[in-house]
Homo-oligomer: A and B are copies of this chain.
């Protein structure tokens, strides 16, 4: 990152821009590296406050955060996820099934806690500014909050792992989430031994990253 001029001026100071890029680059989707130690309430609140500062359509702030530490609840969820893992494995061609077998998909019980992020499309009333033409912008707002949470946790030296091998109805029942509120993610959050430098799915030969240049178009899709 060409922050040279500022770095020269500030000496040992980390320029804020470089600090952000460093967090974005170090962030990983964590499964195997959780150590399960306690996370202090101050640290957890800073991470949730970062999530809560996300932009949202019509300032509807449609998210909620359910913090789950109870080991019994987490074991129940982990067992459900194990079943869904088998469902996915059974759908794979044989050579992919072998690669998938080496990949850990969750750290539900090993992490310090679960943070379940939910979405309430009714938040903000009947006239949410900016949502009349695209209903999903409500949902998008909740997802923006998740990325803030993820980066804040990374900066705090914590790890986050998004678990998506579950049925929404199962998670809704498990946490008594009311009808009309949708569970969006189970995030494993907690202390970690380290963060890997290469994403798990790349290390295990599941998939390679796409070059940035392929994702950029100019003026229209075809150029």
A contact set with B: CB distance below 8 Å: 1-2, 10, 12-17, 19-25, 27, 29, 42, 45-46, 48-50, 52-55, 57-61, 63-70, 73, 84, 87-88, 91-93, 96, 100, 103, 105, 118, 124, 127, 129-134, 136-137, 139-140, 143-144, 146-148, 150-152, 155-156, 162, 164-168, 175-178, 181, 184-185, 199, 201-202, 206-207, 209-210, 212, 215-222
Q: Is the CB of A155 within 8 A of B201?
A: no
Cα distance A65–B103 when bound, in Å? 30
Residues of B within 8 A of A210 (CB): 61
Q: Which 10 A-B residue pairings sit nearest by Cβ, starting from the closest?
A: A147-B147, A19-B19, A143-B143, A16-B19, A17-B155, A59-B201, A66-B217, A130-B164, A20-B155, A144-B147
Instruction: Kindly report how many copies of this chain are found in the complex they form together.
Output: 2
Cα distance A168–B13 when bound, in Å? 45
Interface of A is mostly: mixed
What are 26 contact pairs spanning A and B, CB under 8 A? A16-B22, A20-B23, A20-B155, A24-B53, A24-B148, A48-B216, A54-B147, A57-B164, A58-B207, A67-B216, A67-B219, A69-B218, A84-B132, A84-B133, A88-B132, A91-B132, A96-B127, A100-B129, A130-B164, A131-B164, A134-B166, A137-B164, A140-B184, A151-B151, A176-B221, A176-B222
Given A53-B24, A66-B219, A68-B219, residue A167 in contact with residue B61 (CB < 8 A)? no
Residues of B within 8 A of A181 (CB): 221
Shortest A153–chain B CB gap in Å is 10
Q: Is the CB of A65 within 8 A of B217?
A: yes
Cα distance A61–B167 when bound, in Å? 23
* Residue in chain B with minimal CB distance to A118: B221
Residues of B within 8 A of A176 (CB): 220-222
Cα distance A174–B183 when bound, in Å? 34
Q: Is the CB of B144 within 8 A of A146?
A: yes
Residues of B within 8 A of A184 (CB): 140
Q: Is the CB of A199 within 8 A of B59?
A: yes
Q: Is the CB of B14 within 8 A of A134?
A: no
Q: Is the CB of A152 within 8 A of B67?
A: no
Residues of B within 8 A of A54 (CB): 147
